[in-house]
Amino acid sequence: MNTPTRISYREALREAHREALAKDPRVFLIGEDVGRYGGSYAVSKGLLEEFGPERIRDAPLSELGFVGAGIGAALGGMRPIVEVMTVNFSLLALDQIVNTAATLRHMSGGQFSVPVVIRMATGAGRQLAAQHSHSLEVWYAHVPGIKVLAPATIEDAHGMLSLALDDPDPTVIFEHALLYNLEGERPSSWPQIDIERAAVRRSGADVSLICYGGTLWKTLAAANTLASIGIEAEVIDLRVLRPLDEETILASVRRTHRAVVVDEGWKTCSLAAEIMALMAEQAFYDLDAPLSRVCSAEVPIPYAKHMEEAALPQPQRIVDSVKTMLGRG
């Protein structure tokens, strides 16, 4: 009996890149250290040798410059994948993403599209301190004109890239840095991925736990703990942060009548706040308890391991939030 083949989130991403590069000569990868070094997170390891320096392009240390080059190439008919080392560094390219890529279809009256895919690592948990650890997904989810994706599973990591490349408009993909080592059984054939809808990762009738990206696995762990004390939680993986799948969110809370939103971003002006506003506006009379959220502490992410862990959403905080909501605290 053959042992099932294992594959990591990182390897699934690499395979998706290889398939895209082989399928379409317009596709190329550009970013810092994506070539000879193999990528800061080893996603592009081996691709330079396979596809050459014209298609695996090391860029200077200038996010503003190489993100702009990717946008220009997309306008010229190419299908660029731009890798930004971390979301914190993407702030140096905000002008290119927000003022150029996101607006050109509108400003050109539909004459131009910008089919660029911008990938970046996000999130904390690796003791890299404040300049490499924040979760700023909501900054991009706020902006009309771009699609924002957050793959949390190996299957989504593999399947979202090709769909994003097919999109005529800019797409930003957030990869939580703690997920790169995530391993699972490699499917015999990759499933069809939907980048329009959220995914129900666990069914339940007592409370909806709404999460995305790096918080999915913590939320599933919390749901398992809750099940052991007789509380059945439904876990919704948003997957698509813009546009939000309002239908799936509302359908879940109308079933369970309670909701906790888990978001590694800060509480103030967070994506969690937007989701809570959606539920309050459209499902208020379905609620049996006040909405709740578990977010990161309102501090720059600390370096010390125990302080970093204390600042981030953890399974026990999710469990405690649900127990309090149900009067079981």
DSSP 37: T
Name every residue whose Cβ is closer than 8 Å to that of residue 107 and which is 6 or more positions away in sequence.
Answer: none
Task: Identify the helix (H) or strand (E) that includes residue 185.
Answer: strand 183-185
Residue the block writes with tokens 């010229």 = 76
Q: How many CB atoms lie within 10 A of CB 52?
A: 12
Residues 10, 41: contact at Cβ < 8 Å? Answer: yes
Choice among 11, 17, 32, 63 that is catalytic = 63
**Measuring CA to CA, how many Å separate 265 from each of 75, 134, 223?**
32, 7, 21
Structure tokens at 75: 């306008």
**Measuring CA to CA, how many Å separate 204 from each of 101, 184, 214, 218, 234?**
40, 24, 21, 17, 4
Residues 19, 162: contact at Cβ < 8 Å? Answer: yes
Evaluate the CA torsion angle 18, 20, 21, 27 in order and state its sign. Answer: negative
Choice among 17, 32, 83, 132 that is catalytic = 132
Residue 134 known to be catalytic: no
Q: What are phi and psi of 119, to 5 degrees?
A: -100, 145
Report the catalytic residues.
63, 132
